[in-house]
Amino acid sequence: MSEEQKTVKAIDGPTRLEYRYSPGRASTRFLRGMEQKKILGQKCVGCGRVYVPPRGACARCGLPTEEEVEVQDTGTIVTFTIVRVPSQNIEIELPYCAASILLDGADIPFTALLRDVPVETVRLGMRVQGVWKPDAELGPSFDNIDHFTALDEPDVPFEKFQEHL
């Protein structure tokens, strides 16, 4: 086969789309709270579950989460994974722990980075606290909590958080 007739196996198709994102009512209130180092969850009008971060609806009931509730930056690890393989766009030293954290006062956990803790000591029920960025760097972003770190408190027994996995 001559050079000209070689099969094309791939082509580059550069695409760029720009968006003007608007987060909606619930997320706007949450992000404005984050600017003030306040974590504002929202409570379902049906079942009373508190969502952090809130998106405006209770996924269980399909009802609006209208009541605002301030929750703490302390919480409990309800599940976790240790990351040992590198991946693109993530420049965190390996190995590290990605933890599912249930904040005190919230009913739904979210995933966050756990740092300054030897990964082999991470366990379910471990108490943690958010480490905030310096005040000068605060913006309307969940990233204001840079990472979580361990608290010197007794572990929470599994039965206490098993409904919140």
**Out of 45, 63, 92, 151, the residue judged to bind other proteins by CB under 8 A:** 63
140 binds, among Zn ion, other proteins, none (CB under 5 to 8 A by kind): none
Q: Which of 88, 164, 77, 89 is nearest to 113 (CA)?
A: 77
Work out which of 26, 39, 44, 145 binds Zn ion, going by CB under 5 A: 44
Residue 121 near which of Zn ion, other proteins, none (CB within 5-8 Å, type-dependent): none
Cβ 67 to Zn ion shortest distance, Å: 11
Distance CA 100, CA 81 (A): 9
Name the segment binding other proteins (CB under 8 A); options: 13-21, 68-76, 94-102, 107-115: 13-21
What is the chain's length? 165
Please say which residue, 30 or 148, places its beta carbon nearer to Zn ion: 30
Name the one range near other proteins by CB under 8 A: 34-42, 52-60, 109-117, 154-162. 52-60
Euclidean distance between CA atoms 126 and 106, whole angstroms: 16
Which residue carries 């909606």 as its tokens?
A: 24
3-state SS, 41-68, equals EEECCCCCCEECCCCCECCCCCCECCEE
Q: Which residues bind Zn ion (CB under 5 A)?
A: 44, 46-47, 58, 60-61
